[in-house]
Amino acid sequence: MALKLPRGLYGLIDDGLRPEVPVPTKALWALEGGAAVIQLRLEKTPDRLALEWIREVVALAGAVPVIVNDRVDLCLVGQAAGVHLGANDLPVSVARRLLGPAALIGATTRNLADIERAAGEGADHVGLGPIFTTSTKQVNAASLGLEGFRAIATKSPLPVVGIAGITLETIGQVAKAGAHCAAVAGNLLDAPDVVAQARALRDAFFAA
């Protein structure tokens, strides 16, 4: 299967982090710093504004894929590249039927069985974690750690996005452990200079 997801920094733009800054501005900072993928997590944003922001970020991103967290409907009407689905969202198979064969569809997974299930339903990549503990989102699962992540990622039939608690100090280790991408939220958006931090994260990922 041809990889559709670019390698590198997966900028997770959460509306709950630095809420005083509009989501498109945060996404632009990540893009200027070299993020290979943008995911928009808009859990606190009303749908109408979320749709406006998705369309704006898609326009800003150009060839960089923009993925919407959880919401297949907003992905579709916002003309985003794809969607990322958790265990309580629409099934991957349903999202694939709605979004078509070209859409990027990722699924949150905790183990190899989850990944194989997602592949069978039509996902083309997965988020695997939590690797480390995170304060950005409530996660009801034990941390895998680098070795646990490596053991699963190296057997995965799909490209793996490492998720949860990744920082500038650990992103290289995550890349070495088999991550196709590394998703970063807090360590990216809470930085004093988000553009510079994105650039540093990107460089550390590829240096590994």
Mean pLDDT of the chain: 95
Whole-number percent of the chain with pLDDT over 90: 92
- Determine the pLDDT at residue 1: 43
Cis bond before residue 130 (omega within 30° of 0): yes
What mean pLDDT do residues 50-71 have?
98
Could you state, in order of their start, the residue ranges of all structural domains in the chain? 8-207
For the segment 157-170, the average pLDDT, to the nearest whole number, is 97
* DSSP H helices in the chain: 23-32, 47-61, 72-78, 92-99, 112-121, 145-153, 171-176, 186-189, 194-207
Return the residue matching tokens 């009407």.
Answer: 77
Distance, CA of 75 to CA of 54 (rounded, Å):
8
Which of 3.40.50.980, 3.20.20.70, 3.40.50.720, 2.40.50.100 would CATH assign to domain 8-207?
3.20.20.70
**Total-model pTM:** 0.94
pLDDT above 80 for 160: yes
